[in-house]
Structure 1
């Protein structure tokens, strides 16, 4: 069982394991975890053994890594911290959405629980961060929208952009320059011939524009067909 306060490395590991599976069902492997954290496979193997010993993950040799209920609680707490800090940096300090991830990575380990909850209160307990990722509530409830990657949508599909991946700051800057943002309405027009770009119409009425989006861009955009959200408690 885990005792004491977890190290920042442990907090980072469980957060990445959770984030990998938040928008899709496949669990993360050791090699994928190493790639996301930018560390050697041997370092991941050693840390995963430590996480297992502390009751935070389930893992068998050559198999994927999954969080235990205790690991899930810690991961959701860290995700809540990270996304609230990102929201505060954008809303209160004027950061752009491509700048906040690295700052939040540093700050999330340094501030107290009291600070985080006062920050949440100051922001009005937001449901999502600047990129559309849901912010877990203090009780572990996460409201995930019914959304799909834009690249997977068929011609004629319409909805609104509900999430934009923050993995690539350069891509976020590109989207900002093109005025592609959260909650924009979108309709898939079709695809250019021979595996070409995805053609989409973004915006409504006279302000709508057509874009030719490469798959890398369309894969970073998530579209919801409806305005309802589904809440699920993940920290039981």
Structure 2
């Protein structure tokens, strides 16, 4: 597998995960990878010839079981490296993505097995995303969006929908981190912003857009 092929499979997997039950269109893949649709078509043909994806007319592409396995392997490596970078090298959660994008292409199953053991077999990455097991199995916690909570309802911040560096930096600025206990104190009628109590000791006001990107358990 080339680095480009791995990136395509991972991208198709993530796009399909965002809209379950639907094929992934060439245009969506091109937009996600910031490349031309013609280039995407050529790569999709190559991956199909390798038995890694299937194309359905008018419905886009879907990963085959082998394509899904390889995509999840790349996701697993990426998320394990993110844990390592945060826990062992002192990276902040907004710094790890680009570095992990490079490390995820290391082709050494033994290295990844030993990294997993060294980290004591983590199940979540620093952003709360589940880490696939070596066989591709992945436990998905039952999350709710913060904006779906009712007034005075509480929960634990468990994962993020948006893991971009600017959003992570925003959360750092307002003091919202995974594991925080939050309670909805008010929903502002003017702009749907949310007034929260965090860890029972302070108040935070966040936008509705921010609330739509926070998962609670």
TM over 0.5: yes
Shift of the 74–122 alpha-carbon distance from structure 1 to 2, 3 Å rule, reads same
Q: Does 1:87 align with 2:83?
A: yes
Deviations 1:9-36 (A, max 9, x none): 1111111222234465254332222222
Counterpart position of 1:78: 74
Shift of the 21–7 alpha-carbon distance from structure 1 to 2, 3 Å rule, reads same
Q: Does 1:55 align with 2:48?
A: no
CA distance in 1, matches of 2:175, 2:144: 21
- 2:191–2:208: 8 Å Cα contact kept in structure 1? no
Shift of the 45–150 alpha-carbon distance from structure 1 to 2, 3 Å rule, reads farther
CA distance in 2, matches of 1:196, 1:166: 19
How far has the Cα of 1:166 moved from its partner? 5.1
**1:143 aligned counterpart, secondary structure:** coil
CA distance in 2, matches of 1:114, 1:81: 12
**1:39 aligned counterpart, secondary structure:** coil
Shift of the 7–59 alpha-carbon distance from structure 1 to 2, 3 Å rule, reads same
Matching of residues 7-156 of structure 1 within 5 Å: 7-22=2-17, 25=20, 27=22, 28-156=24-152
Per mean C-alpha deviation after superposition, the further-off stretch among 31-40 and 131-140 is 31-40
Runs of 4+ aligned residues of structure 1 deviating over 4 Å after TM superposition are: none
How far has the Cα of 1:65 moved from its partner? 2.6
Higher strand share: 1
CA distance in 2, matches of 1:79, 1:200: 33
Shift of the 125–162 alpha-carbon distance from structure 1 to 2, 3 Å rule, reads same
Counterpart position of 2:215: 222
Structure 2: any 5+ residue segments left out of the alignment? none
CA RMSD of aligned residues (A): 1.9
